[in-house]
Structure 1
Amino acid sequence: MHFDWQFFWKSLFTPSERFLDGLVLTIVISVVAMVLAILVGLVLALLRRSRFAVLRWCASLYIWAVRGTPLLVQLVIIYTGLAAVGLYQFHDVSLFGLSVKAAIQAAIVGLTINESAYIAEIIRAGLDSVPKGQFEAAESLGMKPAKVMRWIIVPQSLRVMVPPMGNSFNGMMKTTSVLSVIGVSEMFLVTQSISSATFHTFEIFIVAALYYLALTTIWTVIQAEIENRLARQLGINQRVRITQRLLGGRRGPAPAEAQV
């Protein structure tokens, strides 16, 4: 048994169409699920802050149940369990001229449900990081709660939320590999198929690992730029450096108020 370098380099630099389709599907599912998870997580976070105990209890129960069970189990329940008990069955649909398979729909729903529970806690922690006195002071000036949240609370809490949210998205892109259990032809399942057909298991899985690494690295660069832009908007003189984020380099200059 030997390492086939020719197959490795060919798969790395000129991957097959099936592999590229799996790569694109991995990205699309991750982005769509993350956007939906942020929306659902925002609702859950606001419910956790509601003055009504029933709403707080429902949101807390959702977060507790989702965070306490594996994603793999959730996917199986959503895709096959609901159909087995006659509650709901996913079917292929046509959306904007594209055919979206049932398994892909279930994958997006499953990832959204799973990730929204974690996003809700990130948003809640971010909102709680802003001193309550600022909210009370703004209300005393006659600002409505929605405007206080929009113009005062959210801009400050975003800088706290973005790093863990970015890490969650990074993790979710890698977690899409478990979608193969319900038959989604994302990058991992395609890699398994190529491995079975060519018997070049080691080579093709290293290629897949490098592509996952490339995806997470690209997102890390984007995330760092988002954090830096938010810092500039808030007047914070501290930059997130790519070398710091990827290789553990030295931190950027400290905020002006910390240099007194």
Structure 2
Amino acid sequence: MSSHGNPAGGRLSGKTALVTGGSRGIGRSIAERLAEDGAQVVVHYGGDEAAAKETVAAITAAGSSATALRQRLGVPGDAAALWAEFDRVTSGAGVDILVNNAGVVSRLPFGEITEEEYDRVFAVNTKAPFFLVREGLTRLRDGGRVINVSTGLARGAMMPDLIAYSMTKSALDVMTRDLSKVLGARGITVNSVAPGITDTDMNAGWLRSDDEALAAAATQSALGRVGQPRDIADVVAFLASDDSRWVTGTWLDATGGSMP
């Protein structure tokens, strides 16, 4: 881990967090926010090493502790390999907060999606988090937190062309619900956070290049704007803290009031 110290008095001081897909977008904002609260953060990334290094540099420059971890998800043995690397970079320190944020989107219409594409999306978005928790049980400390990043599309057909993606997150929400019962005896809470349309690189192609699309997206929220990564990160920080100790097995709507 970095030699930089954690902010004094942070509510997550002494905690270790693993954020998958933590190098960009919502994941980066989550990693930075947990670090602000005092956690030592392991920033997982799949391929963009430059973005991961940038995220770690930003966290350490702010006086917090972070390190990067590379492992492609959606391939056989991904969870075991990720945890083996985690053990290496943390010297077997264990983990208090696991944020399953990494995800991929398929934008192929229902009539065009192939079995290969379907399997790819489910492998990253659903299978990987499932086995990351299962393989991580011996590392996850009692009283810990599992936080799964879902989507508002799991509860509302606002973008029906993203059907396969939405299905992966619906399955993740069922995992959240049932896993809370499995891990509750250890004082570990399990929750899902569901963003709505958020201004990230994933949405940049259609959101940032078209003023009309941006305006239309903003109207979906009761608050009249598109979500920012920090909006989601702050909700995750609440669920990672002791303030959320009596919240588990739930789906937390963080869509800015976009759901009907």
TM bucket by the smaller chain? under 0.3
Structure with greater contact order relative to length (CA < 8 Å, sep ≥ 6): 1
Pair member with larger Rg:
1
Question: Going by fraction, where is helix more abundant, 1 or 2?
Answer: 1
Please, what TM-score do these two structures have when normalized by structure 1?
A: 0.25
